[in-house]
Amino acid sequence: MKHDNSLKAVKLAESLMPGGVNSPVRAFKSVGLSPVVIKKAKDSKIYDIDGNEYIDYVMSYGPMILGHADERVVRAVSSASSDGFSFGATTEREIELSGLINKHFPSIESVRLVNSGTEAVMSALRLARGFTDRNKIIKFEGCYHGHSDSMLVKAGSGALTTSVPSSAGISENLSKDTLIAVYNDISSVKELFSVHKGEIAAVIIEPVAANMGVVLPKDGFLQELIDLTHENGALVIFDEVITGFRLSLGGAQGLFNLKADITCLGKIIGGGLPIGAFGGRRDIMEYLSPLGPVYQAGTLSGNPVCVSAGIATIKAMEEDDAVFKANEAADYLVSNLNEEFKKTKIAGKIAINHISSIITIFFNTGKVGNFKDVMNSDTNSFKNFFAAILNEGIFMAPSQYEAMFLSSKHTKSDLDNTVSIISKILS
């Protein structure tokens, strides 16, 4: 593949933006390549400015479960745009989207729309502290909850990719209130509750970790966590920015039949447009202003264009059974990859973690069940693998620590081609 136009664009970008990007992973630094520059996308395909076509497994890091540029969502965005982009006032559309969220997430009795997953988490943590009158938060190493200051401690996603598990610019006073537990290890949580008795406001977790690569919860771990947290008078926050409306229409909570006290949602509820939400038990949410003492606000919250895209996306997902189709595609891909891997020289050197329509191929000889296991992965092998598949027309996240996302528009031909290419590269 030729990338002349992308190379020129990247050189210009680097003179105008830090690292030439507006989000660190896009720089391709961990894989030692210059990034491709994307022009457009449709269904399961994405196209760069050199005209190269790729089967897309990034899917904007999750929200494009209907594939790119679904016509129903495009029409909804166009119609809403013609009525005006932003009003700074309540609209019927944001009420409708809130109703759809409540329909699929019964634990979200009341919801506040915001502008990103990061903002949803930041606001949820403030609410938890205000409601409990406690300051400390437990998070799990390798889980990523956006880039608000208190959450960039032992973080996943881009913070791992750039080898910066924390960040400069975060005050010691802020980070000391963030306590770190080990994912899938309930004893590590018990110890923190014991040492910091009566001080912990909430435990926040990705119910399925997806920002250190896909790491599944052990059977019973999430319910144990909920019970333990409630026994200690703290709240449970599920960060379902990745899993919400993807693992099932009701997210991880729907799939595992669980209820969080507060849930954070992200860009999938806007069909890929910038939006987020946090919501939960009514008594907790009523601590938010204008009803309660916890302040949170945003001029663009409930933006009419974004919520229109979200309404169209969720309704289309219901109509198409999109979650089932995406899951079916992922099952087919994983099953066939595993069969091919048995025939290659890398048999036993790769682990695939997979749930619903999210997948990570770890270059790892053992089972990957927590952050420590993830960090034992062979990133050099991933680097070589990434360069090879990109050149063959497969677009994955340029990091060992991210997930592959399937959509309802990935065809059998896409999947068969992917298996064939990967098998050839690894044989």
* Total count of domains within the chain: 2
Catalytic residue status for 47: no
Same domain, 390 and 274: no
Phi and psi at residue 266, to the nearest 5°: -130, -145
Output the pTM of the full model: 0.94
Same domain, 99 and 247: yes
Same domain, 282 and 204: yes
Instruction: Decide: 214 and 359 in contact? Cβ < 8 Å.
Output: yes
Rg of the Cα atoms in the chain: 21
Question: pLDDT confidence of 165, banded at 50, 70, 90?
Answer: very low
Q: Which of 304, 319, 334 is the endpoint of a domain?
A: 319
Question: pLDDT confidence of 347, banded at 50, 70, 90?
Answer: confident
CATH number at residue 341: 3.90.1150.10
User: What is the pLDDT at residue 79?
Assistant: 97
Rounded CA separation 372/252 (Å): 23
Reduced to 3 states (helix: H, G, I; strand: E, B; else coil), residue 271 is coil
Same domain, 65 and 76: no
CB atoms near residue 40 (< 10 Å): 11
Q: Hey, what are 241's tokens?
A: 């920015």
Average pLDDT score over residue span 416-425: 96
Q: Which of 292, 319, 346 is the endpoint of a domain?
A: 319
What percentage of the chain carries pLDDT values higher than 90? 88
Question: Per residue in 1-18, pLDDT tens?
Answer: 899 999 999 999 999 999
Residue burial 2-34, b: 16+ Cβ < 10 Å; e: rest: ebebbeebbeebeeeeeebbeebbbbbbbbebe
User: What is the pLDDT at residue 147?
Assistant: 77
User: What is the pLDDT at residue 163?
Assistant: 34
Average pLDDT score over residue span 56-76: 98
User: What is the pLDDT at residue 155?
Assistant: 53
Same domain, 152 and 234: yes
Cα angle, residue 314 at apex, residues 311 and 316 outer, rounded to 5°? 105
Q: What range defines the domain where residue 168 resides?
A: 71-319
Catalytic residue status for 378: no
Write down the catalytic residue from 136, 139, 267, 383: 267
Asked if residue 168 has pLDDT above 90, the reply is: no
Same domain, 312 and 376: no
Same domain, 55 and 195: no
Same domain, 294 and 329: no
For residue 263, CA distances in Å to 111, 204, 214, 236, 410 come to: 9, 9, 19, 9, 29
Average pLDDT score over residue span 209-235: 97
Question: Per residue in 262-273, pLDDT tens?
Answer: 999 999 999 999
* DSSP state letters, 172-226: HHHHTTEEEE-TT-HHHHHHHHHHTTTTEEEEEE-SSB-SSS-BPPPTTHHHHHH
Asked if residue 161 has pLDDT above 90, the reply is: no
Asked if residue 322 has pLDDT above 90, the reply is: yes
Q: Which of 289, 319, 349 is the endpoint of a domain?
A: 319
Instruction: Decide: 252 and 238 in contact? Cβ < 8 Å.
Output: yes
Asked if residue 349 has pLDDT above 60, the reply is: yes
Same domain, 304 and 225: yes
Same domain, 100 and 166: yes
CATH number at residue 307: 3.40.640.10
Average pLDDT score over residue span 358-365: 95
Same domain, 107 and 250: yes
Catalytic residue status for 54: no
Question: Per residue in 28-41, pLDDT tens?
Answer: 999 999 999 999 99
Average pLDDT score over residue span 386-398: 97
Write down the catalytic residue from 47, 54, 144, 183: 144
Same domain, 160 and 294: yes
Single-letter amino acid code for the residue at 200: I
Write down the catalytic residue from 43, 70, 177, 239: 239
